[in-house]
Each structure stands twice: as structure tokens, then as C-alpha cells.
Amino acid sequence: MTPLPAGAPDPVVIGPDGLRPADVVAVARDGAPVAVSPAAMAAVAASRGHIDALAAGTTPAYGVSTGFGALATRHIPPQRRRDLQRSVIRSHAAGSGPPVEAEVVRAMMLLRLKTLASGHTGVRAALVDAYAALLNAGLIPRVPEHGSLGCSGDLAPLAHVALVLMGEGEILDAEGRVSPAGPGLAGAGLAPVELQEKEGLALINGTDGMLGSLILSSHDLRRLCRTADLSTALSVEALLGTDRVFAADLHEPLRPHPGQATSAGNLLRLLHGSEIVASHRHGDPRVQDAYSLRCAPQVTGAVRDTLDHADLVAGRELRAVIDNPVVLADGRVESNGNFHGAPVAYVLDFLAIAAADLASMSERRTDRMLDAARSHGLPPFLAADPGVDSGHMIAQYTQAGIVAELKRLAAPASVDSIPSSAMQEDHVSMGWAAARKLRRSVDGLRRVLAIEVLTACRALDLRAPLHPAPATAAAVACMRTLVEGPGPDRYLAPEIDAAVDAVADGRLLAAAEEHTGPLQ
């Protein structure tokens, strides 16, 4: 197994069984180290033997003795093959734009290492060790945002990582400062790698960037679904809504979508014991709440079910070997199309649609709380002195602007193929673009939900002396440690940022779950 420094935490072990999504999050976000199992290293050594045999023979082999893409018909003599591998990394490191986030780069590196260690890529054990050492050293290659078409893998992003492995290119420190890779490697006690046959191609021919982004975004969206249930519960109370529509016998028996039943169950737990809900349970002339309240389980539940499908795809990809060509168990080296990102690109686009719709419903609840004609007794815009004060009027503008952006981001990238490589690569997935816009969608959804929570907490304070449910009251109390209660207008942007942070790090959810137990 790949050695680790003394005192290092337990590593994520890469072996024959692949990885779990939690492994990716641990390495990408928490800095967990990695190790490659002895069984995986044995498989790596065996597959390399087949590549060495091909390199010594006369039969053309893609990636070993030929050029790449539309240049695959060009035979490369033995004395130029190491130049070939070095050249493919340099030429493919052609990205542009601002750097990709460190967590995405680390996720991408882990997933590429998983494939390198599969025993199907034909790389040397020394290359696997070097890649693991680069990841464990905490060096972050500078990977520009633009450059991948999501077919033939995330070629440009992975090439920028591979360039660092060669001692070239650039790395980023924790503050985002750029420095040359060579001195960074030396400072970490690492030596540049000289690539041999097949290895340049194996380093870049994977869907690892889009898959890493999918796993990280799905992880965040799971929490945001629970946060959406909390923000809904707060708004139901603030708007004097009913909890009767969340009763279990209205959901699973009648419309058996599992996510819907989960959301409804969470809402019942969050609203349990609410004096506000109980205050109008009988004799209320209103027959039905607005859709943004009444249909919340159907929408948030559909997001959950979409996430379940995305997790199914991600789980399959985590067991996949993405390279071209691949070394099969019988020693054959075969070209294939497994690098095509369509399976991942579709669910990335699907999740962007779900995030936009969930944010849209949240914004509608916020707008309802601010409209005196629909808020059932709340002051206009929750202002202390309406007219002099504007309250949360412009916070809803911010929500609306974000929701409009999320709707634009929901347009699918995966249908927008543009041919490349002299028409050899005539259909591409655009999965990297889908991944990049999903990360922006997740961030936007987080901000929209935070503004709803901020607004609903203010509205609930204005419902005094009636008390909210213990769970929602705990969320209000948590918010009050960060933001003052109702009063004259204040500088609002820092309060929104504080709410966003409390949503992002899970503090608000944790406060409510002290009373409900873990929400599903």
C-alpha cells in the first residue's frame, strides 16, 4: 500500500471495489489522504506488462505507438514515444479562465487515481505512486475553468493536473496565489515524472472533473433539501398555513414518490407543537393554502428523487474504468467510447433544473410574506415603519435576480454538442459545462433559501405572543445569535451573508434537528 507520512489520518483506500461518494467528499473537502491497496498495485503491474509487450511489437496501438484523435493514423517510432506522451500533456493543457475550485481539482485527481489503479489503463506502478503522492502532498494544480467538452474525457482540466506531475504548469496555495509547479514539487519532496508509453493518454482520458462535481453538488443538494423543508416550515407558520396537507395518508398511499413522503414527514416533525399552526386550526375561513406552501413536498420530494437517480449514476461511474484504450483481463488492448460523458452530463443538467425549481418556490413564499395583501396580518415588507422603512423588500429582489439566473442555468448543456478534432470527435457531451453551471446553481439555491429563512424568522418574531414549534423556534433562536430581530432598517447585506453561512455550514439545520432528530 502507498506509504503515508507518520501521524497522518486514516486514508481513503483505493482498491478493487472502487470508491463511495463519501470517500470523494472526504478527500476533496476534508483533505483526507489516499492509499492504493496491494491488490490494486498488483493489477497495475500486470496490465503494464501488456503495454510493454505492445510497445516492443510492430502492431499499431492507439496511445502507445500512434498519434491521438484525428492524428491516430500517424505511426510514432519507439525513440519518439516518450516525447509523444509529454507532448500530449503539454498540448492538451490548453484551458483558459479563472482557476477551478480546489475541492473540484482534488475530487478530479482522486477519481483519475482510481482509474489509474484499476489495472485497466496500462500505466506503471511508479506513476500510480507519484499521482497518489501529489494528492497527499496537498498541492493544488491550477486548472482553468474553460477547456473541456466532456468527451474523450475532461482532457484539458486533467492535462493541467498531469502537467504539474511532470514538474511543469502551475499550482495554487491556500490563498489562491499562483506559483510554478517545479519548485512546489521540490518543496514537497516530490520529483517530476517522466511519462512512458500510454501514460500521457491515461492521465487525461476520463470524466473525472464532471463526476467529481456531480458528487460534491449532490452532497450539497441533499442538505439543501432538508434546509428547504425547514424554510418551508418556517414560512408555513409565518403565513398562518396549515400542516394538515402534510399528513402521511395524503402522500405515500396516494402518490408513492418516496421523496414526497420524506419531505412531508419532515414538515410534520418540524411543525409539531406549533402554537401558531394550532391557533387557526379550527374555524379558519380559508380552504386551501397557496401552492408554494401546499405543494412543497411534491416539489422538494421530486428534487430528492432526482438526486436518487443522480446518485445511482454516480455510483455506477465510481465503479467504472474510464480510459481509451483499455487493457482487458485477457491482455487485449481495445479502443472504446466509455469516455463519453453523456450519462453524467444528463444528470448534471437534470439537477440544475431541480435546483432552479426549488429556488423558485422558495422565492414565492418569501414574496408572499412581504405582501400585506397576502401575508395575513404581517406589516408590508415586514418593515418597522412601512414607508420610512423598506424592511426586506430588496432582499426579495435579490432572490428574484438569483432565481432568474438559475432558470437560465437550467438550460441543458448536454444537448449543445460542437464537433472537434477535425470531425473525429463529432459528438461531445458538454458535461464539464453542465458541471460548472450546476455548482453555480447550488450556490444560488443556497442563497435563495437563506433569504427565505431570514425573512420567515423575522415574520415569526412579529407573530408574538404566539410561539412557533420547538424545532422552528430553535432555528429562529440560532438566527438571532447572528442577526438582530425586527426593527428599523439596517445594512441588510451582512445579515443575508450570515444567513447564507448558517445554511452552508448546517448550523440552522442542526438547531432544528435538536428537536426533531435527524431529518431525512
Q: What is the CATH number of the domain that holds 428?
A: 1.20.200.10
Q: State the pTM of this model.
A: 0.94
- Residue position matching grid coordinates 503494464: 48
What are 204's three cell numbers? 487525461
For residue 409, the model assigns a pLDDT of: 98
**Both 376 and 509 in a single domain?**
yes
Domain, as residue range, for 512: 213-318+365-516
Nearest-angstrom CA–CA distance, 383 and 3 = 61
**Both 154 and 272 in a single domain?**
no
Looking at the domain assignment, is residue 505 inside a domain?
Answer: yes
Could you tell me which residue, 426 or 168, shows the higher pLDDT? 168
**Both 230 and 271 in a single domain?**
yes
Answer yes or no: are the C-beta atoms of 430 and 417 closer than 8 Å: yes
Could you tell me which residue, 9 or 351, shows the higher pLDDT? 351
pLDDT at 14 over 90: yes
Cα 48 to the chain's mean position, in Å?
34
**Both 240 and 127 in a single domain?**
no
pLDDT at 3 over 70: no
Band of pLDDT at residue 432, cut at 50, 70 and 90 = very high
Which H helix or E strand runs over 502? helix 493-504
**Both 173 and 230 in a single domain?**
no
Looking at the domain assignment, is residue 65 inside a domain?
Answer: yes
Q: What's 246's DSSP letter? A: G
For residue 520, the model assigns a pLDDT of: 94
Give the full edge-to-edge strand order of the sheet including 178-180: 140-141, 170-172, 178-180
C-alpha distances out from residue 225 to 187, 264, 455, Å: 43, 12, 18
Band of pLDDT at residue 289, cut at 50, 70 and 90 = very high
Q: Report the catalytic residues.
A: 62
CATH number at residue 104: 1.10.275.10
Q: Number of structural domains, the chain?
A: 2
Looking at the domain assignment, is residue 6 inside a domain?
Answer: no
The DSSP-derived string for 363-391 is HHHHHHHH-TTTTTSPPGGG-SSBTTB-T
For residue 24, the model assigns a pLDDT of: 98
For residue 6, the model assigns a pLDDT of: 61
Q: Residue 322: helix, strand or coil by DSSP?
A: coil
C-alpha distances out from residue 271 to 267, 365, 476, Å: 6, 17, 13
Q: What is the residue-averaged pLDDT of the chain? A: 94
Answer yes or no: are the C-beta atoms of 325 and 63 closer than 8 Å: yes
Strands 178-180 and 170-172: antiparallel
Answer yes or no: are the C-beta atoms of 289 and 484 closer than 8 Å: no
For residue 4, the model assigns a pLDDT of: 62
Task: Give the residue-averaged pLDDT of 94-110.
Answer: 97
Buried-exposed string 349-383: b where 16+ CB fall within 10 A, e elsewhere: bbbbbbbbbbbbbbbbbbbbbbeeeebbebbbbbb
**Both 127 and 192 in a single domain?**
yes
- Phi and psi for 333 in degrees, rounded to 5? -115, 110
Task: Give the residue-averaged pLDDT of 47-67.
Answer: 81
Answer yes or no: are the C-beta atoms of 304 and 310 closer than 8 Å: no
**Both 100 and 70 in a single domain?**
yes
For residue 174, the model assigns a pLDDT of: 77
**Both 184 and 98 in a single domain?**
yes
**Both 188 and 217 in a single domain?**
no
| Among 174, 189, 206, residue at a domain's last position | 206
Nearest-angstrom CA–CA distance, 128 and 202 = 11
Out of 154-163, 405-414, 419-428, 485-494, least confident range: 419-428
**Both 39 and 172 in a single domain?**
yes
**Both 239 and 129 in a single domain?**
no
| Among 206, 221, 244, residue at a domain's last position | 206
Task: Give the residue-averaged pLDDT of 484-493.
Answer: 97
Residues in CB range of 178: below 8 A, 6 or more apart? 99, 142, 170, 171, 172
Task: Give the residue-averaged pLDDT of 137-150.
Answer: 94
Angle between helices 431-462 and 393-409 (to 10 degrees): 160
**Identity at 150, one-letter amino acid code:** G
pLDDT for 359-382, tens place per residue? 999 999 999 999 999 999 999 999
Q: Residue 142: helix, strand or coil by DSSP?
A: coil
Could you tell me which residue, 258 or 66, shows the higher pLDDT? 258
**Both 174 and 244 in a single domain?**
no
Nearest-angstrom CA–CA distance, 210 and 44 = 25
| Among 206, 238, 258, residue at a domain's last position | 206
Looking at the domain assignment, is residue 328 inside a domain?
Answer: no
What are 474's three cell numbers? 430553535
Which H helix or E strand runs over 4? none
